[in-house]
Amino acid sequence: SQKIEQNSEALNIQEGKTATLTCNYTNYSPAYLQWYRQDPGRGPVFLLLIRENEKEKRKERLKVTFDTTLKQSLFHITASQPADSATYLCASGYSTLTFGKGTMLLVSP
Amino acid sequence: SQTIHQWPATLVQPVGSPLSLECTVEGTSNPNLYWYRQAAGRGLQLLFYSVGIGQISSEVPQNLSASRPQDRQFILSSKKLLLSDSGFYLCAWGRTGSGYGYTFGSGTRLTVV
């Protein structure tokens, strides 16, 4: 079955810098990968989806890439702000989604 | 617009007591519905999903069951709670293979004591 792996260590960056989070998958190449944001005590919120045949997707300050050779997706937040501090989840699947454990991002002023 | 309601927000229940968590979706028809659990420090674990009324698929053998009595209603139940059932329960809706993300409810924090 598909496994989604994310760096379990928190990522600490300064405000204004670009945050880059990594998502690796095993086994088959998924048709698409999804990224979610989760704040403490809340449900995840869908951010972006990138399809297998797309190299890059952008939405405002967010950018996602998909490298099927490396079996990896990168999630970038440019000009990061303290309000971007949250846990970011990567997910993949067809009829159901398998989620990674998420990476906590801490943006300090 | 579509909305998803989940309640209660928090629940403290003794071991051996029953459980009923309810989730309803508005603004869409025939959604796929999902129950996930998130234990402390762990990822989201899919418990059940449903593609239609009365159709339930179980992903993990456990002390829980799910039902879908109406198109936009999904219920998670247990006859006797265990300590290990504690966690953050999340209901979500989505569309199979659509490539669109899931919409999650606000979650229920369950503590079994």
- Model pLDDT, residue B65: 95
CB interface of A with B, residues 25-84, below 8 Å:
31-32, 34, 36, 41-47, 49, 51
- Model pLDDT, residue B60: 81
What 3-state class would DSSP assign to A83?
helix
- pLDDT exceeds cutoff 90 at B97: no
- Closest-CA distance, A73 to chain B, in angstroms, reads 16
Query: What is the tens place of the pLDDT at every residue in B73-82?
Result: 999 999 999 9
Q: Residues of A with CB below 8 A from B51's CB?
A: 95
Ramachandran region, residue B25 (left: φ > 0; alpha: ψ -120 to 50; beta: rest): beta
By mean pLDDT, which of A44-53, B38-47, B64-73 is the weakest?
B38-47
% of residues, chain A, pLDDT over 70: 99
% of residues, chain A, pLDDT over 90: 72
A100 to chain B: closest CA residue: B43
Is A99 in contact with B97 (Cβ distance < 8 A)?
no
State the virtual CA torsion across B73, B101, A6, A78 in degrees, nearest 10. -140
Q: Are A11 and A104 in contact (CB under 8 A)?
A: yes
Query: What is the tens place of the pLDDT at every residue in A48-66?
Result: 999 888 889 999 999 999 9
- Model pLDDT, residue A30: 77
What span, in angstroms and rounded, lies between the C-alpha atoms of B48 and A59? 31
Q: With cut-offs at 50, 70 and 90, classify the pLDDT of residue B39.
A: confident
A87 to chain B: closest CA residue: B43
Q: Which residue has the tokens 């050779």?
A: A69
